[in-house]
């Protein structure tokens, strides 16, 4: 697992693959509508939302080396910020984005500042504890739905004729956010800051001895990932028109973690690959059996036992073997 | 506030805490000795509860049903340990999370396939009524049974860990596994046994709490997190820590839900109390854990020197 290493494949092959992938992603809604399967446009939008959330977790988990078991809290927080603002009649989407970034950034910075004092298993558990607090808080705010959740009638308004209620418009919006996140991540990893973060992950003591402000750098990564998670939440509530405490439940954090591991920890496309693989698997299994969880579990077990670096690892090996 | 109410709530807290201890005991040993995160521990609690409900209905006897469920769950736990979990000990925490999360999915749906979404399980008729403890304080007999069984098992676990050869080996494994192995102890085989005991204790908790809560798919998920809170507060790998942590968590949770809310109602304006009361009560346990970790990052009774 060395994400900083140069790819062993010829650069042109990777570029060609990327170009094909982007073209496919851009054409997907048109093809689906042409095939009369427009239901799958909103499914693809859901994959993208989960991909953004999983990518933000991958930043903490994979690149930062911090095993956070409470990432769904930030996704849920972002969804609630937008949900509450819409139900209070504030529809300006730019305001939603700013508020989500602010609230999630501050929350992640506070939670990170306390959690990062602990290590290993204790870090896993304390991030989980904070997420549980937010989960129960969301359950108890009766004014905004309580445990029944909050339905919003309008969507974030961004002007420019963009209506997020429309599945195709939503798809392209989410695609743009995901592309921007992955691009930022690709620029971040080889940057000076990114290399410092990787050094801290690999050997914290040595990084500290070299003069890096390890605590502050980790905190920044944690907070930025929380903000991006919040944006995923903003998108989620806009897609479904609904937010409930279930979005913050610990099994959601677990699902995001599973997506990261499935797609490949500390790989650029790991979040997208994992989200797409898991949701597609569920969709296909659900079409054939009512017990899709059962078979999903077996597939995940097989991945743990036989594909150690997730799908991203398998893909890398396939690309490198030629 | 009436003293009797406080006594009753303390008894409830102690009873819930003892059941949490039964879950936490197995979890803390797996965590402490093998450094393994087992998210599927809550599923063993669910499996135990379902087996108990099924066997009680089959045999018509609460006692035999519960005992059978304990045996079967322990056997199932040992099977799980030898076939799957054992291969995960050497892997990193992420792989363990993924694998045991997968196990939750499999066991949830597997139980649903075999038994359906829920099973009825009620307390034995003989224990249905209340018992007069003090003048003016009557307490459900079934809850007293839970208290008694919990205390008995806690004592048994203490004696097992503190006084027997098996316990000495477990303690040695928790404080330094590699050294214990170097001394010629087969920690792996020891661990299959420990895992079986942990699974059996899960079944006890599931079967006894079944009539009070509900025997349904997914029942293990929320209580699992509380069990994790318990072992983090108590110190990972320590049975004594698990007992103290469990009783503390049980009392904080129960008292938070009742007395704290009542205190809020008395001292705050009603609209504040009704909004803040439930919120504070449900997060009290997690705030408590954050405070403990801030003061003692290794928990109250760290097992590792």
Tell me the pLDDT tens digit for each residue of B272-291.
766 666 677 778 888 888 88
Residues of B in contact with A118 (CB under 8 A): 293, 297
| Cβ-based interface (< 8 Å): residues of B facing A | 31, 35, 37, 39, 84, 87-88, 91, 93-95, 97-99, 101-106, 108-110, 112-113, 221, 225, 228-229, 232, 236, 274-275, 278-279, 282-283, 286-287, 289-290, 293-294, 297-298
pLDDT of res. B31: 82
CA dihedral B295, B297, B298, B300 (to 10 degrees): 20
3-state SS, residue B272: helix
Q: Is the pLDDT of residue B262 over 80?
A: no
* Kind and range of the H or E run holding B139: strand B137-140
Nearest to A53 by CA among A68, A40, A72: A72
Both structure tokens of A28: 């997907």
Which residue among A61, A140, A297 sits closest to B282, beta carbon to beta carbon? Answer: A140
CB–CB contact A136 B110 (8 Å): no
When pLDDT is averaged across residues B214-238 and rounded to a whole number, the result is: 88
CB–CB contact B104 A297 (8 Å): yes
Lowest mean pLDDT among A285-294, A312-321, B61-70: A312-321
CA angle A164, A165, A166 (to 5 degrees): 85
**Could you tell me the end-to-end alpha-carbon distance of chain B, in angstroms, rounded to an integer?**
44
Burial class from Cβ neighbours inside 10 Å (0-12, 13-18, 19+) for residue B7 reads middle
When pLDDT is averaged across residues A173-184 and rounded to a whole number, the result is: 94
pLDDT of res. A1: 43
Residues 6+ apart with CB under 8 A from B62: B56, B123, B124
Residues of A in contact with B283 (CB under 8 A): 132-133, 136-137
* Kind and range of the H or E run holding B7: helix B3-34
The fraction of chain A above a pLDDT of 70, given in percent, is 94
pLDDT of res. B66: 93
* Kind and range of the H or E run holding B28: helix B3-34
The fraction of chain A above a pLDDT of 90, given in percent, is 45
Q: Is the pLDDT of residue A161 over 90?
A: no
Alpha carbon distance A307, A319 (integer Å)? 15
Alpha carbon distance A115, A122 (integer Å)? 8
pLDDT of res. B305: 46
Q: Is the pLDDT of residue B223 over 70?
A: yes
Closest CA in chain A for residue B230: A125
**Between B115 and B175, residue with greater pLDDT:** B115
Å between A71 CA and nearest CA of chain B? 14
Which CA distances in Å does A214 have to A237, A299, B195? 35, 37, 38
Give DSSP secondary structure letters for B112-137: HHHH-SEE-----GGG-SEEEEETTE
pLDDT of res. A319: 63
A297 touching B (Cβ < 8 Å): yes
Which residue among A129, A297, A308 sits closest to B102, beta carbon to beta carbon? Answer: A297
Instruction: Please give the backbone phi and psi of residue B75, each rounded to the nearest 5 degrees, phi first.
Output: -65, -40
User: Could you tell me the pLDDT band of residue B127, with boundaries at 50, 70 and 90?
Assistant: confident
Both structure tokens of B30: 């797996």
pLDDT of B151-190, one tens digit each?
999 999 889 888 898 888 888 887 788 888 888 888 888 8
Both structure tokens of B83: 């076939």
Residues of B in contact with A251 (CB under 8 A): 221
pLDDT of A33-78, one tens digit each?
888 887 889 999 999 999 999 999 999 999 998 999 999 999 999 9
pLDDT of res. A2: 47
Lowest mean pLDDT among A114-118, A316-320, B156-160: A316-320
Residue that has been written with the tokens 């990114």 in this structure: A194
Which residue among A118, A120, A300 sits closest to B98, beta carbon to beta carbon? Answer: A300
């Amino acid at each position: 697992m060395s994400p900083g290493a140069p790819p062993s494949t010829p650069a042109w092959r990777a570029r060609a693959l990327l170009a094909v992938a982007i073209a496919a992603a851009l054409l997907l809604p048109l093809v689906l509508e042409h095939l009369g399967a427009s239901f799958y446009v909103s499914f693809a939008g859901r994959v993208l939302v989960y991909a953004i959330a999983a990518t933000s977790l991958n930043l903490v988990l994979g690149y930062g080396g911090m095993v956070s078991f409470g990432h769904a809290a930030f996704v849920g927080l972002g969804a609630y910020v937008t949900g509450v603002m819409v139900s209070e009649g504030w529809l300006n989407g730019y305001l939603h984005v700013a508020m989500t970034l602010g609230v999630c950034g501050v929350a992640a910075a506070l939670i990170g500042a306390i959690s990062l004092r602990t290590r290993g298993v204790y870090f896993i558990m304390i991030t989980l504890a904070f997420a549980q607090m937010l989960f129960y808080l969301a359950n108890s705010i009766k004014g905004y739905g309580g445990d029944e959740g909050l339905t919003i009638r309008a969507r974030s308004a961004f002007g420019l004729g963009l209506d997020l209620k429309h599945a195709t418009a939503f798809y392209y919006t989410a695609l743009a956010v995901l592309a921007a996140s992955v691009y930022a991540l690709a620029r971040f990893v080889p940057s000076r800051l990114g290399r410092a973060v990787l050094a801290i992950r690999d050997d914290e003591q040595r990084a500290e001895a070299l003069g890096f402000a390890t605590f502050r750098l980790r905190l920044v990564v944690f907070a930025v990932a929380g903000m991006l998670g919040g944006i995923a939440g903003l998108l989620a509530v806009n897609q479904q028109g609904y937010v409930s405490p279930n979005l913050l439940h610990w099994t959601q954090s677990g699902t995001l973690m599973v997506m990261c591991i499935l797609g490949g920890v500390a790989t650029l496309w790991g979040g997208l690959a994992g989200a797409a693989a898991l949701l597609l698997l569920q969709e296909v299994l659900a079409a054939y059996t009512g017990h899709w969880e059962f078979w999903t579990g077996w597939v995940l077990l097989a991945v743990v036992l036989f594909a150690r670096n997730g799908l991203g690892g398998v893909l890398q090996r396939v690309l490198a073997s030629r | 506030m009436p003293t009797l109410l406080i006594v009753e709530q303390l008894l409830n807290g102690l009873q819930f805490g003892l059941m949490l201890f039964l879950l936490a005991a197995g979890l803390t040993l797996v965590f402490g000795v093998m450094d393994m995160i087992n998210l599927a521990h809550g599923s063993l609690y669910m499996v135990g509860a379902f087996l108990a409900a099924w066997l009680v209905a089959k045999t018509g006897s609460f006692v035999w049903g519960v005992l059978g469920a304990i045996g079967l769950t322990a056997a199932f736990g040992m099977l799980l340990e030898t076939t799957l979990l054992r291969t995960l000990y050497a892997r990193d925490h992420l792989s363990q999370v993924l694998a045991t999360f997968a196990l939750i999915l499999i066991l949830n749906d597997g139980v649903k396939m075999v038994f359906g979404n829920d099973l009825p399980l009620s307390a034995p008729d003989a224990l249905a009524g209340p018992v007069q403890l003090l003048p003016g304080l009557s307490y459900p007999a079934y809850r007293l049974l839970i208290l008694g069984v919990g205390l008995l098992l806690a004592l048994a676990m203490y004696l097992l860990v503190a006084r027997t050869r098996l316990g000495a080996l477990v303690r040695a494994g928790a404080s330094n596994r590699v050294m214990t192995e170097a001394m010629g102890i087969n920690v792996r085989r020891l661990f299959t046994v420990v895992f079986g005991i942990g699974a059996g204790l899960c079944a006890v908790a599931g079967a006894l709490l079944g009539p009070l809560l509900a025997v349904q798919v997914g029942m293990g998920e929320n209580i699992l997190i509380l069990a994790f809170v318990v072992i983090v507060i108590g110190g990972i790998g320590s049975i004594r820590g698990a007992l103290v942590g469990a009783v503390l968590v049980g009392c904080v949770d129960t008292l938070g839900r009742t007395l704290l809310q009542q205190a809020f109602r008395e001292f705050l304006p009603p609209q504040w109390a009704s909004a803040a009361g439930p919120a504070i009560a449900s997060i009290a346990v997690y705030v408590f854990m954050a405070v403990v970790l801030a003061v003692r990052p290794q928990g109250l009774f760290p097992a590792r020197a």
